[in-house]
């Protein structure tokens, strides 16, 4: 069963380019957890830049943004440095978080089927409960939509 609003968010503990990030370590804060296919690709870069541009607004709403892909922490470090990204990026290279959140799906390109990350976002409240899920995310306008929901959640 895919995760949906009202479900308890599965905990995670992932390496980042400068430390680790875990859901339990962020308890008490709203968490925007977004899954993206690959560092330094056009859509993923635009999404990370969008979250970075809105980072002060997310912080004011009491929210922490965490991006996750199967790239290594070293790759994340290069990606963050190249674009001045301010969001935390967790590496799921050796973790099943992508599968546990239902973001590992069969994809198809030019008739070839393969497994990959479905661009998806989870808004998790300060108690670790999923409040909103976006799947098959299209990057334009997505950050603003997530921010509006995070701000609404902050107001109660």
Residues recognised as catalytic:
44
Separation CA 17–CA 103 (nearest Å) = 22
Separation CA 90–CA 66 (nearest Å) = 7
- Three-class DSSP category at 91: strand
Closest CA to 49 of 72, 75, 79: 79
HSE (side-chain half, CA atoms, 13 Å) at 52: 16
Q: Given the DSSP bridges, would you call strands 130-134 and 104-109 parallel, antiparallel or unpaired?
A: unpaired
* 9 touches 33 (CB < 8 A): yes
Residues with Cβ within 8 Å of 148's Cβ and at least 6 positions away in sequence, in order, are none
């Amino acid at each position: 069963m895919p995760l949906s609003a009202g479900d308890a968010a599965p905990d995670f503990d992932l390496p980042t380019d400068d430390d680790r990030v875990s859901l339990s370590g962020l308890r008490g804060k709203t968490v925007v957890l977004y899954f993206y296919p690959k560092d330094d690709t056009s859509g993923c870069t635009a999404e990370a830049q969008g979250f970075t541009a809105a980072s002060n607004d997310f912080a004011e709403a009491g929210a922490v943004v965490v991006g996750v892909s199967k790239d290594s922490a070293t790759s994340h470090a290069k990606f963050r440095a190249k674009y001045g990204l301010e969001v935390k990026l967790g590496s799921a290279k050796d973790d099943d978080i992508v599968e546990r959140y239902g973001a590992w799906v069969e994809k198809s390109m030019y008739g070839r089927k393969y497994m990959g990350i479905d661009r998806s976002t989870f808004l998790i409240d300060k108690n670790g409960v999923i409040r909103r899920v976006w799947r098959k995310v299209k990057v334009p306008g997505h950050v603003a939509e997530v921010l509006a929901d995070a701000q609404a959640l902050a107001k109660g």
